[in-house]
Chains A and B, each alone.
Chain A
Amino acid sequence: MSSALSRALRPTVIAAVAGLVVMLVIPFYAEPFLLQAGLFAMAAAIGAIGLNLLTGSTGQLSMGHAFFLAVGAYGYVYFAGDSGHELSGLGLPTPLAAVLAVVLAGLAGGLFSPIAGRLRGTYLGIASLALIFIGQHILHNAHAITGGANGRDVPPLELAGFSFADTPELVVFQVPLRALEKLWFLALLLLLAAAWVARGILRGRPGRAMGTIRDHEIAAGVMGVPVARYRAGVFVLSSMYAGLAGVLLAMAFRRTVPDYFGIILSLEYLAMIVIGGLGSVAGAVAGAAFVSLLPPLFTRYGDGLPLIAAPGAEGVSPAEASRILYGAAVVAVVLFFPGGLLGVWGRVRASLAARRTSHPLTRMEPEEQPT
């Protein structure tokens, strides 16, 4: 019993409880701006976890992540949306539409898997680049499904009579919960589930196989890992993660716009996993938070910082400053912290632990002194 109690009071467990408490309390206090930014960050974290499985753990570079995000987002809108005079939609129940959108993203990944299974590393990166351009063309021209360059409204999720929209407001502890607050809880739940699944995969047999494929493909083959099948499988899985992130993004946006799902978005996801730390779930989450929170926070609170001019005045604007900082962060991580943000944390922890445990024995205790 006492060992169970001491285990329950371990620092990591306490930190997990504290983190969860903070995340659960935020919607009751934070202004909509912070909630919106946090929602984008959580959606991005799910997508980044998926990309990290593919790129960080299996060593397969993908530039097509934005395409699968788009499939998820537009898939949800198409399945859940109603047919209008110029738009078509299936009008399915929204939870079913969300699940189908994720499956659709997985199918799209599956269609690409003959290529994903055969190509290695950077070659896959170049091949998947094509997906972005195909995606942009479809999004702009398949008017009936995507709404063209203008995009489409996203129907709010409705789960067993509970609507994730502004109205009706749900009042809890005298705080009115509108769409952003409700979506916050949903995103948190999905993020935890996504992280848990990814962690399970990485820590089990498939994770080890993926690591071997990344580090030594021939060795993996010799040890009986079906390399091509694994590569294709991970690609499908990562597409499904992207699809889920896309569904969440669509709900947070409330409007899907094709321009958003461009090459820049793919590069941002790569930046997330590089900055956060390749090959781990926590790294992907940390990187996603860094990359997606930095620009809005700078725009919002840039006025108070030195050297930054108010928007419209001469000088470095907040938007430019956030871009400069973002670029500097990528360069700094690549140069000095190959393990990303997570690597930094690991180093700090290791050095702390070393200081705590090592007592270099410089001389003998008095009773041990030879007489």
Chain B
Amino acid sequence: MKSTLRMTAVTAVALALAAGAAGCASDKATGGSGGAGADGVKQGPGVTDKTIKLGVATDLTGVYAPLGKSLTQSQQLYFEQTNAAGGVCGRKIETVVRDHGYDPQKAVSIYSELSTSVLAIPQFLGSPMVTAVKQRIESDKMFTIPSAWSTTLLGSEPIQVTGTTYDVDMINGIEWLLSKKLIKKGDKLGHVYFEGDYGGSALRGAKFAADKHGLTIVEQKIKATDNDMGPQVAALSKAKVAAILMSAGPRQSASLAGIARSQGMKQPILGSNSAFSPQLLATPAKPALVEGFFFTSAGAPISADLPEVKKLADAYAKKYPGQPMDSAVVSGYGNGAIVVSALKKACEAKDLTREGLIKAHRSDANADTGLGTPMNFTYFDKPATRKTYVLQPKDKIPGGAVIVQEATESELATTYQPPVGSY
């Protein structure tokens, strides 16, 4: 009884003290933010008269560390160049780089930090990480460019999926296989894919194309931790597939191609854009990859014959000598350009708030960074473009890949209705 009394007393005193302390001035008290700068530009979170803070939530220590590093470095290169040219709106761009290590919980913590300190997030790596905070991105109106291309991220105004989604890539890829007579109507296609939205998106596209062309898909679902593709190759060999579709990681591609070729399987292999990385060419899987292996990508490879891409390749090699130049370099740089162009437009409208930035961005119907396909940002329930490059790995070339087919939109892809917010 006594102890209950004491507990009550303790709690009461604590509550009274807490109320007193909370009454004191706090930074969080309302009425402070939302002002305009000296130049009359309305300023959102992370914007001052001198700087604009942008957040980068990437993976520098987890499974996608090589990708995250290239993306981050090329993005920082773009912002440095922008700052050297005078910045945006008379303000310098500052990046806040945070590493989530491909862990959703860390990503949630990181987003909590960024939600109050930055204006926009030009790079948010990994669709599980972005979906984990999607609700909050929407309520915060935080302009975000995910480095992931699954259809689950469509349908949200502040989130801009750049390029094509995995399903559209697969449709264009299968159309290309048909046009090159590598497969024909009635054939069986094997599809090795990761469980989850990446593989699920790609499979959806493959099934759509297969349905229209009378093909059959032989599904092989794998986990991200499965590295030996022996059983999958055996199953596909038994099913007598005419080609193999690959929507998994680079490691799985190397294993699949290596085992298939060593068993005398000569079928073409077509990968999604995350199925290849130039580092594979330094592994024993190289001979299997440079022959009969293709992959799709919405972004131009760094070896592309475009003036902007050439300029980027030179600048990147100068700034980060000896670093691998994969397709992420182009993609990170391009995303930086998209955000800066939105910032410039928002500055013209004298509105550098989050709402103003999204409005500026969504007014762009034909955004051309010169780094590949122009994109339409006025809608967010469809991919911003439906054009896909078909690439082939090649040794001793920057980025380790050359273009086999320029960015093309197949007729089938134009009729395709991607799912919004699911896969």
Does A pair with B? yes
State the A residues within 8 Å of B (CB).
7-8, 13, 16-17, 20-21, 24-25, 28-29, 31-33, 35-37, 40, 86, 140, 148-151, 153, 166-167, 171-176, 180, 252-255, 257, 259-260, 295-296, 299-300, 310-312, 317-320, 323
- In the complex, the answer to whether B112 meets A35 with C-beta atoms within 8 Å is yes
- In the complex, the answer to whether A312 meets B14 with C-beta atoms within 8 Å is no
- In the complex, the answer to whether A13 meets B106 with C-beta atoms within 8 Å is no
**Looking at B30, B112, B128, B139, which has the most chain A CB atoms within 10 Å of its CB?**
B112
Checking B58, B109, B128, B132 against A36 with a beta-carbon cut-off of 8 angstroms, the contacting residue is B109
A207 to B61, CA, bound (A): 43
**Looking at A167, A317, A319, which has the most chain B CB atoms within 10 Å of its CB?**
A319
Which one of B93-101, B230-238, B381-389 is at the interface?
A: B93-101
What sequence of 0s and 1s flags, for each residue 19-59 of chain B, a beta carbon within 8 Å of any chain A beta carbon?
Answer: 10111001111110000000000000000000000000010
Task: Please provide the 10 A-B residue pairs with the shortest distance between their CB atoms, ordered closest to farther.
Answer: A149-B196, A24-B18, A33-B113, A20-B14, A36-B112, A28-B22, A311-B97, A174-B29, A32-B112, A312-B72
- In the complex, the answer to whether B132 meets A257 with C-beta atoms within 8 Å is yes
Q: Is B351 an interface residue (CB 8 A)?
A: no
User: Inside 8 A of A25's CB, which chain B residues have their CB?
Assistant: 18, 21-22
B57 CB to closest chain A CB, in angstroms?
10
Which one of B4-12, B181-189, B357-365, B400-408 is at the interface?
A: B4-12
**Looking at A33, A149, A252, A253, which has the most chain B CB atoms within 10 Å of its CB?**
A149
Sample (9) of A-B pairs whose CB atoms are under 8 Å apart = A21-B17, A40-B105, A153-B135, A174-B29, A255-B131, A257-B128, A296-B106, A312-B73, A317-B61
A167 to B132, CA, bound (A): 19
Closest partner residue, chain B, to A141 (CB atom): B195
- In the complex, the answer to whether B6 meets A13 with C-beta atoms within 8 Å is yes
A34 CB to closest chain B CB, in angstroms?
8
A148 to B15, CA, bound (A): 43
Closest partner residue, chain B, to A295 (CB atom): B106
User: Inside 8 A of A296's CB, which chain B residues have their CB?
Assistant: 106, 109-110
Checking A28, A148, A173, A299 against B99 with a beta-carbon cut-off of 8 angstroms, the contacting residue is A299
Checking B9, B27, B131, B195 against A151 with a beta-carbon cut-off of 8 angstroms, the contacting residue is B131
State the B residues within 8 Å of A (CB).
6, 9-11, 13-15, 17-19, 21-23, 26-31, 58, 60-61, 69, 72-73, 76, 97-99, 101, 103-106, 108-110, 112-113, 115-116, 127-128, 131-136, 139, 152, 195-197, 200, 422-423
B183 CB to closest chain A CB, in angstroms?
29
- In the complex, the answer to whether B76 meets A312 with C-beta atoms within 8 Å is yes
Chain B facing A: main interface SS: helix
Closest partner residue, chain B, to A310 (CB atom): B97
Checking A32, A260, A311 against B104 with a beta-carbon cut-off of 8 angstroms, the contacting residue is A260
User: Inside 8 A of B133's CB, which chain A residues have their CB?
Assistant: 254-255
A300 to B117, CA, bound (A): 12
A31 to B99, CA, bound (A): 19
A230 CB to closest chain B CB, in angstroms?
27
A17 to B109, CA, bound (A): 29
User: Inside 8 A of A166's CB, which chain B residues have their CB?
Assistant: 136, 139
Provided the pairs A175-B30, A253-B132 are in contact, do residues A21 and B18 lie with their beta carbons within 8 angstroms?
A: yes
User: Inside 8 A of B135's CB, which chain A residues have their CB?
Assistant: 153, 254-255
User: Inside 8 A of A7's CB, which chain B residues have their CB?
Assistant: 6
Provided the pairs A140-B195, A151-B132, A254-B136 are in contact, do residues A28 and B97 lie with their beta carbons within 8 angstroms?
A: no
- In the complex, the answer to whether A311 meets B109 with C-beta atoms within 8 Å is no
- In the complex, the answer to whether A175 meets B106 with C-beta atoms within 8 Å is no
B324 CB to closest chain A CB, in angstroms?
14
- In the complex, the answer to whether A29 meets B26 with C-beta atoms within 8 Å is yes
User: Inside 8 A of A255's CB, which chain B residues have their CB?
Assistant: 104, 108, 131-135
User: Inside 8 A of A295's CB, which chain B residues have their CB?
Assistant: 106
User: Inside 8 A of A317's CB, which chain B residues have their CB?
Assistant: 60-61, 99
B241 CB to closest chain A CB, in angstroms?
25
A86 to B152, CA, bound (A): 13
- In the complex, the answer to whether B139 meets A29 with C-beta atoms within 8 Å is no
- In the complex, the answer to whether A253 meets B105 with C-beta atoms within 8 Å is yes
User: Inside 8 A of A16's CB, which chain B residues have their CB?
Assistant: 10, 14
B1 CB to closest chain A CB, in angstroms?
13
A36 to B22, CA, bound (A): 19
- In the complex, the answer to whether B29 meets A175 with C-beta atoms within 8 Å is yes
Q: Given A21-B14, A149-B200, A295-B106, 14 other A-B contacts at CB below 8 A?
A: A28-B28, A29-B26, A32-B113, A150-B152, A174-B29, A174-B31, A253-B104, A253-B108, A255-B104, A257-B128, A260-B104, A312-B58, A319-B101, A320-B61
User: Inside 8 A of B18's CB, which chain A residues have their CB?
Assistant: 20-21, 24-25
User: Inside 8 A of A259's CB, which chain B residues have their CB?
Assistant: 104, 128
User: Inside 8 A of B101's CB, which chain A residues have their CB?
Assistant: 319
- In the complex, the answer to whether B132 meets A149 with C-beta atoms within 8 Å is no
User: Inside 8 A of A257's CB, which chain B residues have their CB?
Assistant: 104, 128, 131-132
Closest partner residue, chain B, to A192 (CB atom): B11
- In the complex, the answer to whether A312 meets B10 with C-beta atoms within 8 Å is no
- In the complex, the answer to whether A176 meets B28 with C-beta atoms within 8 Å is yes
A310 to B14, CA, bound (A): 41
- In the complex, the answer to whether B132 meets A173 with C-beta atoms within 8 Å is no
- In the complex, the answer to whether B109 meets A319 with C-beta atoms within 8 Å is no
- In the complex, the answer to whether B196 meets A148 with C-beta atoms within 8 Å is yes
User: Inside 8 A of A253's CB, which chain B residues have their CB?
Assistant: 104-105, 108, 132
A253 to B196, CA, bound (A): 19
Provided the pairs A13-B6, A150-B196 are in contact, do residues A175 and B28 lie with their beta carbons within 8 angstroms?
A: yes
User: Inside 8 A of B6's CB, which chain A residues have their CB?
Assistant: 7-8, 13
A28 to B21, CA, bound (A): 9
A20 to B22, CA, bound (A): 13
- In the complex, the answer to whether B73 meets A21 with C-beta atoms within 8 Å is no
A257 to B107, CA, bound (A): 12
A254 to B139, CA, bound (A): 12
Provided the pairs A35-B112, A312-B69 are in contact, do residues A29 and B28 lie with their beta carbons within 8 angstroms?
A: yes
B61 CB to closest chain A CB, in angstroms?
5
A172 to B26, CA, bound (A): 12
- In the complex, the answer to whether B15 meets A24 with C-beta atoms within 8 Å is yes
A33 to B29, CA, bound (A): 17
User: Inside 8 A of A86's CB, which chain B residues have their CB?
Assistant: 422
User: Inside 8 A of A312's CB, which chain B residues have their CB?
Assistant: 58, 60, 69, 72-73, 76, 97
